């Protein structure tokens, strides 16, 4: 019996960040307030969320001499007075080919910190700049063994297990390809493959998780 119906769906990935105050140094300091920072997950519609746990967000301040200082994200950051370029990103952003969601934001305007003063910067949404693919094998789809799922984007190919998500840095490539191989109850080989992004209404977007799921419905292989 060879049967699988393939569909691909889009879900959203949300990340979280929290807040804690940094200790003051002995030198004269000013303060940067980031109380309105959010991380966002995007699809057809943009959805933002404020989370309650500290994530791996990093705040980077680069002064006019191009010296950059990194701080763990906190609602209030104490730093030397000066004029800074503000960036916020996840730890994974700095890691090439990190298999994790990557978040990055750069403030359009420079931030001026004055001694003893608090400079508020609000309404910041830190977007996810890569995308992910999840493999979902339903629990009620029994009798199959030797299940292997592979997803390819550009020159990168990855094999993942059911329930796992793998991430890709987005590029000029417009499509992802995926393939499944398995054995059914009769030990007959079952194989299918497909593309996403080759249809008019299919667009690969940063900040999106694409879920490939298999569903038993007919006696033939059908790809949608």
Closest C-alpha to 20, from 69, 77, 103: 77
Q: What is the pLDDT of residue 143?
A: 81
Query: Dihedrals φ, ψ of 169, to 5°?
Result: -75, 130
Cβ atoms of 89 and 61 closer than 8 Å: no
Q: What is the pLDDT of residue 194?
A: 87
Q: Secondary structure of 45-106 in the HEC alphabet?
A: CEEEECCCCCCCEEEEEECCCCCEEEEECCCEEEECCEEEEEEEEEHHHHCCCCCCCCEEEE
**And the tokens for 46?**
């943009």
Q: What is the pLDDT of residue 4?
A: 36
Place of tokens 């940094």: 22
Q: What is the pLDDT of residue 187?
A: 84
Between CA 175 and CA 185 the distance in angstroms is 33
Cβ atoms of 150 and 178 closer than 8 Å: yes
**Whole-structure pTM value:** 0.74
In Å, how far are 1, 87, 133, 205 from 57, measured between CA atoms? 49, 10, 23, 22
Q: What is the pLDDT of residue 151?
A: 94
Give, for all 224 residues of the chain, the pLDDT tens digit.
Answer: 333 333 333 333 333 333 344 444 456 888 888 866 777 653 422 222 333 333 579 999 999 999 999 999 998 999 999 999 999 999 999 887 789 999 999 999 999 999 999 999 988 889 999 999 988 888 777 788 888 999 999 999 999 998 899 999 999 999 999 998 988 888 888 888 888 888 888 888 899 988 888 776 533 333 33
- CA angle (137, 97, 92) in 5-degree steps: 90
The answer for residues whose C-beta is within 8 angstroms of residue 105's C-beta and 6 or more apart is 87, 88, 89, 124, 125, 126, 127
Going across the sheet that includes 118-120, the strands are 76-79, 30-33, 118-120
Q: What is the pLDDT of residue 183?
A: 87
The total of other beta-carbon atoms located within 10 Å of residue 67's CB is: 10
Give strand pairing partners of 166: 133
């Amino acid at each position: 019996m060879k049967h699988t119906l393939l569909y691909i769906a889009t879900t959203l990935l949300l990340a979280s960040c929290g807040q804690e105050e940094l200790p003051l140094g002995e030198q004269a300091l000013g303060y940067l307030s980031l109380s309105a920072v959010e991380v966002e997950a995007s699809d057809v519609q943009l959805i933002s969320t404020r989370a309650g746990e500290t994530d791996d967000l990093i705040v980077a301040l680069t002064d006019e001499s191009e010296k950059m200082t990194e701080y763990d994200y906190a609602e209030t950051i104490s730093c030397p007075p000066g004029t800074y370029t503000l960036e916020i990103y996840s730890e994974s952003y700095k890691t090439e080919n990190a298999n994790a969601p990557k978040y990055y934001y750069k403030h359009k305007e420079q931030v001026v910190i004055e001694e003893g003063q608090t400079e508020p910067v609000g309404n910041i949404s830190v977007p996810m700049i890569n995308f992910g693919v999840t493999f979902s094998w339903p629990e009620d789809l029994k009798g199959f063994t030797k299940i292997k799922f592979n997803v390819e984007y550009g020159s990168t190919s990855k094999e993942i297990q059911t329930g796992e998500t793998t991430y890709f840095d987005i590029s000029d490539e417009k499509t992802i390809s995926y393939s499944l191989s398995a054995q059914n109850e009769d030990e007959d080989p079952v194989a299918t493959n497909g593309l996403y992004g080759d249809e008019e209404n299919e667009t690969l977007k940063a900040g999106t998780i694409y879920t490939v799921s298999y569903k038993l419905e007919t006696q033939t292989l059908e790809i949608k």
